Amino acid sequence: MRLLAVVFAVGGVAFGFIGWGAAISAAVPAPSGRVLVYATPPGVGYGVCRPECRPDRAWVWRESVEGRKRARLTHGLAPVVSPDGRWVAFVRARRDGTETEIDLIRSRAGAVRRLVRLTANEPVYKLIWAPDSRRLVAAFVGRVVSLSPNGEATILDGANLDQISFSPDGSQLAYVKTVETPLGYLSNVYITSVSGGEPRRITSEGDAEAPVWGTDGIAFLRNDGNIWIVQPDGTGLRQLTLGSLWIRPVAWSQDGTRLLGENPPHHNGRLWAVDGRTGAARTITGWVGGLDALGLSRDGRTILATTGHGGFQGCVGRIETIPYAGGQPHVLLPRTCDASWNG
């Protein structure tokens, strides 16, 4: 087994990277059905976190979306499952809650493999898998690191991040970068390759947020309250929705016909279905306390969502699936606020 090690620094913060060569890329049968992963610490229940509730003792769990074959994998927080269902990336934490490393484990369990050692107190903002499951992006405040399970670590551009979205083929990232200018702070959509290189700005209006990359272009929200679409080369800018509904794009269906959007919760949230061709929008839900979309199935039929807030300590929310067509939610997990699936 070939061991690869890389040490690099971002903004004065040092990281250590360890990879396992070709061993990790060997074919591993993916679990059947859709996989759901989440974390639970001991001592959490009904909003009360007893003294033994500690981040370093949180557990990463895996089960099917249908609620069968539950399995405890390892200690960790904030797990995300790869789209092919083979791998789970997660964060380890100390007793005081400061994060120490980003790790990887097979979704069917096995040895834990460290990807990044965090040698300074810098929280991980988000972990995101590429659609082809070959690369993982770790977003920190003001920086993004592209990680390959085969031993590559690439520092990408990124500052004041809003939302990061992979291209459908997994080779590029779209994100919002905010830059101070004589006219004030301007936020535009940028694109960069996951292998590095100079980022390209593809919008110039300075009011972009929440880019989501689909088969027909990159949808994003502008400060006129509408969703717009732009092509990856910066051409073809067009308005998708009407009415200043302030719908934030969340995810496209794989065929690009359905766009999931939301009014993000400050106290209450609401989900929207947007036609990817015409821009016609309809509400999927009413206003629900703490409702926040976590993902959309590839066929565009099912939404993974959370209600409630509180994080991993004392969370009184729940994880549920909601039909994109509308209807009653199905509760998957009580007293849990975050989860990931390969829907």
Same domain, yes or no, for 242 and 258?
no
- DSSP letter for each residue of 101-118: EEEEEETT----EEEEEE
Per the structure block, which two tokens stand in for 184?
A: 């004030």
203 domain residue, yes or no:
yes
Domain boundary among 106, 126, 146: 126
- DSSP letter for each residue of 28-67: -PPPSS-EEEEEE-TTEETTEE-TT--GGG-EEEEEETTS
Residue 34, number of CB atoms within 10 A of its CB: 18
Residue 187 and residue 181 in contact, taking contact as beta carbons nearer than 8 Å: no
pLDDT of 173: 92
Residue 54 and residue 130 in contact, taking contact as beta carbons nearer than 8 Å: no
148 domain residue, yes or no:
no
Per the structure block, which two tokens stand in for 298?
A: 């590839």
Helix, strand, or coil (residue 24): helix
pLDDT of 7: 37
Residues forming a β-bridge with 272: 261, 283
pTM assigned to the model: 0.85
Torsion from C-alpha of 280, 285, 289, 295, nearest 10 degrees? -70
163 domain residue, yes or no:
yes
Same domain, yes or no, for 14 and 107?
yes
Helix or strand run (H / E) with residue 8: strand 4-10
**Rounded Cα gap, residues 318 and 303, in angstroms:** 14
Residue 115 and residue 89 in contact, taking contact as beta carbons nearer than 8 Å: yes
Residues forming a β-bridge with 38: 61
DSSP state of 332: E
Same domain, yes or no, for 241 and 256?
no
Same domain, yes or no, for 194 and 239?
yes
254 domain residue, yes or no:
yes
Same domain, yes or no, for 19 and 122?
yes
Residue 97 and residue 89 in contact, taking contact as beta carbons nearer than 8 Å: no
Domain boundary among 221, 246, 271: 246
Domain of 110, in residue numbers? 1-23+34-126
Sequence-ordered list of residues with C-beta below 8 angstroms from that of 186, at least 6 positions apart, any chain: 178, 179, 206, 207
Same domain, yes or no, for 111 and 4?
yes
Same domain, yes or no, for 339 and 290?
yes
CA 297 to chain centre: 14
Helix, strand, or coil (residue 157): coil
pLDDT of 99: 77
Same domain, yes or no, for 49 and 165?
no
Same domain, yes or no, for 200 and 282?
no
pLDDT of 27: 41
Domain boundary among 213, 246, 279: 246
Counting as low any pLDDT under 50, the low residues of the chain are 1-15, 17-32, 44-48, 310-314
Same domain, yes or no, for 302 and 230?
no
Residue 245 and residue 226 in contact, taking contact as beta carbons nearer than 8 Å: yes
**Rounded Cα gap, residues 15 and 153, in angstroms:** 10
137 domain residue, yes or no:
no
151 domain residue, yes or no:
no
Same domain, yes or no, for 13 and 122?
yes
What total of structural domains would you count in the chain? 3
Sequence-ordered list of residues with C-beta below 8 angstroms from that of 97, at least 6 positions apart, any chain: 55
68 domain residue, yes or no:
yes
Same domain, yes or no, for 164 and 224?
yes
**Rounded Cα gap, residues 1 and 218, in angstroms:** 40
135 domain residue, yes or no:
no
